[in-house]
Chains A and B, each alone.
Chain A
Amino acid sequence: MKTDFTNIEEILASLPSLPDKLTAVQETLIANLIMLSEIPAPTFEEEARVALLLQRLVECGLDNVSSDEAGNGVGVIPGKDPSRNILLVAHADSIYSNRVDHALSVLADEIVGPGVADNSLGMAVLATLPTIFEALGIQLDANLVLLCSTKGLGRGNLDGLRFFMDNNKIPFEAGICVEGEKLGRLSYTAEGMFRGHISCKLSEELDWQRVGQNSAIIALNDVINRILEIPIPRRPSTSIVLGAIRGGKSYNVMATQSSLRFEVRSEDADMVRAIRERIDAIIADVASSHSAEIEFTVVASREPGGIDVTHPLVKSCRQVMEALDVRPTIRPSMSEVSELIARGLPSVTLGITEASNLHDLNETIRINPIYTGLAQLLAMLFAIDGGFCNETE
């Protein structure tokens, strides 16, 4: 197909026929999805899944395929101009431990299984792009660097991507992060964020005088009440999410341990910092009144930032979505795109298809919208490749 466009309108005009052409790679895409998704890849244990991706890229005839010290997998689809580079990222890790049955079910119009949307589909797109390029006769001007990044979720704190960005010497023009869900997703800003873990420990010796009054649960409850008292402004938009709580052993046993996992996000970096200091103070106070050992650690953090809504990259995304009848859902992101933006690389996150039961064992994606999602991705690659997403000086 024609791949040297002189303006974005030409790309938009070529879009309506693209999804149908892409159905030709259906079996390859779904086979890649099955094989990748059925290998467990909890954060920090992505090795086997990344290895399979690299093997698939090698089988497609890519020469430049490697992994790095952080376990990231990288493959390059060479362009005509070796000095130009576009980055395409999908995170490899999922939230499921390797004890979970990772088998997928392929139905007539849906695929079901843990992690199939987040983010096995994103990885499968990376694995299938060389086949798509070959089937459609696409060669870009720029090199397309396919990065499958590790240690992205939770405590991983995007460490894989950070390592790659710290240590590679490739000058990128733009980045696209690929997520399985959901078609229309458009993220180009990042909120400031930190994820905290508070653990509370009491001495094992039971103080009979204080049965019923003291326990790691009561102490943690105090901490939670005090956190909830922190005033949260509407603007800049800020939130505290209490995500998970654990503690205690049984009905009548004094709890000696408890823990809380939570996340604070805000558009304003100062607000994030202020809340963090506030929580530090709360911890010190509660610890002394309960004679408990309370520890507060920040396990992940992000700086707020973003590119402007008028940036040509964002504008092109909207135009492409409109041409494909996809309604954009704009939301700030905590994921890979936030790291790329923080480093000054114009980047967006795009979703590939419609999904439901996200993060449940029966996570489900719809097959048909995938081709629209892929068409959107290709159109954006053409737009970046054609230089239509650069800011005018």
Chain B
Amino acid sequence: MKLNDWIKNNTIHHSQFWDLKKLVEEKEKQGLKISLCLPTLNEEKTIGKEIVMFKSELMDRYPLIDEIAVIDSGSTDNTREIAATFGADVYLSAEILPQYGEKKGKGENLWKAVYELTGDIIVYVDADIKNIHPRFAYGLVAPLIYRPEVHYVKAFYDRPLAFSQGVRPSGGGRVTEILTRPLFSLFFPELTGLVQPLSGEYAVRREVLEAIPFPIGYGVETSHLIDVYEKWGMEAIAQVDLDQRVHRNQETRDLGKMAFGILRAFLFRAEALGVIGTLPELSTVLKQFQAHDEEFEQISHTIVEEERPPMLELPEYREKFGIK
């Protein structure tokens, strides 16, 4: 498929899916079960609102979502209490598959959700969205319901302000434009068709989620895209414009750590796929600077981008889902 055709055919605006009644009918016809997963770590300001909104609109009013689960990395604020108050199923990540130990990171929660949740489709939505709206879930699920060839739907956010000419710049955040897009341009040019490859909201079919490994940290999105692309091709991927998303802004330093994690995950993928040659041993330490008066000092962050294996390789998973 030509990239331009892909962009044209597989880039969709959420407003196409306004008819929730029709969407629910189609879902029921196919007998699909849909799970919503909210990975959390100290999100007490926004989690309650997200759950109330999804439960009211996409469970009570239009029964599109069958379960809402919060997978928490051990919040020290009231995240879990608030989530339970509003009726979500709340899990502590460490208590799911405890025999495999506990690792810290969003990817870990997403991976454990594949075991714990029972949906045929899992939609992941970050828990820090201030302007939450049901479209953040139904917009991502809808292409999977209407188009059987689509397996992985990624969100992007593009709200045009006033523009006098027809052309305006668009794309992702700082890490996307400075790191991920250049890397994709060099090694996986078709993946540059994604407007915001790092966005934290996506809906995926179980047969994809159970078959791919999960980096536990920042690299999970990048790694997933490469794996889905390699195994199922571009036609399995779609992206949906969800308009504006309001969330916390991150410091450049934190983005540095994120970029480091993504780069490690990317390089391992590229090496495993034979896209680049054999890598030397890669450091897990990112160095940044701080200064006391005239003295400069380096601080080291150890960022280990460990990886969880595909769920299909776990006997517990195969047993739970009856896979021989």
Q: Which residues of A contact B (CB under 8 A)?
A: 26-28, 30-32, 34-35, 38, 59, 103-109
- Inter-chain contact A108/B52, CB cutoff 8 Å: no
- Inter-chain contact B52/A34, CB cutoff 8 Å: yes
Q: Which A residue's beta carbon lies closest to that of B131?
A: A103
- Inter-chain contact B60/A107, CB cutoff 8 Å: no
B183 CB, min distance to chain A CBs, angstroms: 34
B104 partner residues in chain A, CB cutoff 8 A? none
| Cβ 8 A contact of B53, one of A26, A34, A108 | A34
| Cβ 8 A contact of A38, one of B45, B52, B78, B131 | B131
Asked if B48 is at the interface of the complex by the 8 Å CB criterion, the answer is yes
A106 partner residues in chain B, CB cutoff 8 A? 48-49, 52, 82, 86
- Inter-chain contact A27/B52, CB cutoff 8 Å: yes
| Cβ 8 A contact of B78, one of A28, A31, A103, A107 | A107
Q: Which A residue's beta carbon lies closest to that of B45?
A: A105
Q: Which of B37-77 contact A (CB under 8 A)?
A: 44-46, 48-49, 52-53, 55-57, 59-61
A358 CB, min distance to chain B CBs, angstroms: 21
Provide 21 A-B residue pairs closer than 8 Å at the C-beta atoms, listed in order of the A residue. A26-B86, A27-B56, A27-B86, A27-B87, A28-B56, A28-B61, A30-B52, A31-B52, A31-B56, A34-B49, A34-B132, A59-B61, A103-B131, A104-B49, A105-B45, A105-B46, A105-B48, A106-B49, A106-B52, A107-B82, A108-B81
| Whole-angstrom CA separation of A59 from B59 in the bound complex | 15
| Whole-angstrom CA separation of A103 from B247 in the bound complex | 11
Asked if B323 is at the interface of the complex by the 8 Å CB criterion, the answer is no
- Inter-chain contact A107/B53, CB cutoff 8 Å: no
| Whole-angstrom CA separation of A32 from B81 in the bound complex | 22
Q: Which A residue's beta carbon lies closest to that of B82?
A: A108
A121 CB, min distance to chain B CBs, angstroms: 14
Question: Which 7 interchain pairs have the tightest Cβ spacing?
Answer: A31-B56, A106-B48, A27-B56, A106-B49, A30-B52, A27-B55, A108-B82
Asked if B130 is at the interface of the complex by the 8 Å CB criterion, the answer is yes
Q: Identify the interface centre among B44, B52, B87: most chain A CB within 10 Å of its CB.
A: B52
A107 partner residues in chain B, CB cutoff 8 A? 44, 48, 78, 82
Count of inter-chain pairs, beta carbons less than 8 A: 51
| Cβ 8 A contact of A30, one of B56, B61, B82 | B56
Q: Which B residue's beta carbon lies closest to that of A38?
A: B131
| Whole-angstrom CA separation of A27 from B59 in the bound complex | 10
Q: Which of B130-145 contact A (CB under 8 A)?
A: 130-133
Known: A32-B56, A103-B131, A108-B85. 14 other contacts (CB 8 A): A26-B52, A26-B86, A27-B56, A31-B52, A31-B55, A104-B49, A105-B45, A106-B48, A107-B48, A107-B78, A107-B82, A108-B81, A108-B82, A109-B85
| Whole-angstrom CA separation of A30 from B86 in the bound complex | 10
| Whole-angstrom CA separation of A28 from B45 in the bound complex | 20
| Whole-angstrom CA separation of A27 from B132 in the bound complex | 14
B87 partner residues in chain A, CB cutoff 8 A? 27
Number of residues on chain B facing chain A (CB within 8 A): 24
| Whole-angstrom CA separation of A16 from B130 in the bound complex | 37
- Inter-chain contact B61/A108, CB cutoff 8 Å: no
B161 partner residues in chain A, CB cutoff 8 A? none
| Whole-angstrom CA separation of A63 from B78 in the bound complex | 42
- Inter-chain contact B49/A27, CB cutoff 8 Å: no
- 1/0 per position for B240-263, CB-CB distance to A under 8 A? 000000100000000000000000
| Cβ 8 A contact of B60, one of A28, A104, A109 | A28
Q: Which B residue's beta carbon lies closest to that of A109?
A: B85
Q: Which B residue's beta carbon lies closest to that of A24?
A: B60
Q: Identify the interface centre among B44, B46, B60: most chain A CB within 10 Å of its CB.
A: B60
| Whole-angstrom CA separation of A38 from B132 in the bound complex | 10
- Inter-chain contact A31/B246, CB cutoff 8 Å: no
| Whole-angstrom CA separation of A85 from B60 in the bound complex | 30
| Whole-angstrom CA separation of A34 from B57 in the bound complex | 12
- Inter-chain contact A31/B53, CB cutoff 8 Å: yes
| Whole-angstrom CA separation of A109 from B78 in the bound complex | 11
| Whole-angstrom CA separation of A199 from B86 in the bound complex | 51
Q: Which B residue's beta carbon lies closest to that of A113?
A: B49
- 1/0 per position for B114-142, CB-CB distance to A under 8 A? 00000000000000001111000000000
- Inter-chain contact B52/A103, CB cutoff 8 Å: no
| Whole-angstrom CA separation of A104 from B133 in the bound complex | 12
B45 partner residues in chain A, CB cutoff 8 A? 105
| Whole-angstrom CA separation of A108 from B81 in the bound complex | 7
- Inter-chain contact A103/B60, CB cutoff 8 Å: no
Q: Which A residue's beta carbon lies closest to that of B132?
A: A34
Q: Identify the interface centre among A32, A104, A107: most chain B CB within 10 Å of its CB.
A: A107
Q: Which A residue's beta carbon lies closest to that of B130?
A: A103
Q: Which B residue's beta carbon lies closest to that of A106?
A: B48
B48 partner residues in chain A, CB cutoff 8 A? 105-108
A38 partner residues in chain B, CB cutoff 8 A? 131
Q: Which A residue's beta carbon lies closest to that of B49?
A: A106
A108 CB, min distance to chain B CBs, angstroms: 5
A120 CB, min distance to chain B CBs, angstroms: 14
B286 CB, min distance to chain A CBs, angstroms: 33
B53 partner residues in chain A, CB cutoff 8 A? 31, 34-35
B52 CB, min distance to chain A CBs, angstroms: 5
| Whole-angstrom CA separation of A148 from B86 in the bound complex | 28
A30 partner residues in chain B, CB cutoff 8 A? 52, 56
B161 CB, min distance to chain A CBs, angstroms: 15
A31 partner residues in chain B, CB cutoff 8 A? 52-53, 55-57
| Whole-angstrom CA separation of A104 from B55 in the bound complex | 17
Q: Identify the interface centre among A26, A32, A106: most chain B CB within 10 Å of its CB.
A: A106
| Whole-angstrom CA separation of A107 from B81 in the bound complex | 10
| Whole-angstrom CA separation of A59 from B19 in the bound complex | 11
Q: Which A residue's beta carbon lies closest to that of B21?
A: A59
Q: Which of B165-180 contact A (CB under 8 A)?
A: none
| Whole-angstrom CA separation of A107 from B52 in the bound complex | 11
B61 partner residues in chain A, CB cutoff 8 A? 28, 59
| Whole-angstrom CA separation of A105 from B45 in the bound complex | 6
Q: Which B residue's beta carbon lies closest to that of A135?
A: B60
- Inter-chain contact B246/A103, CB cutoff 8 Å: yes
| Whole-angstrom CA separation of A104 from B130 in the bound complex | 8
A109 partner residues in chain B, CB cutoff 8 A? 85
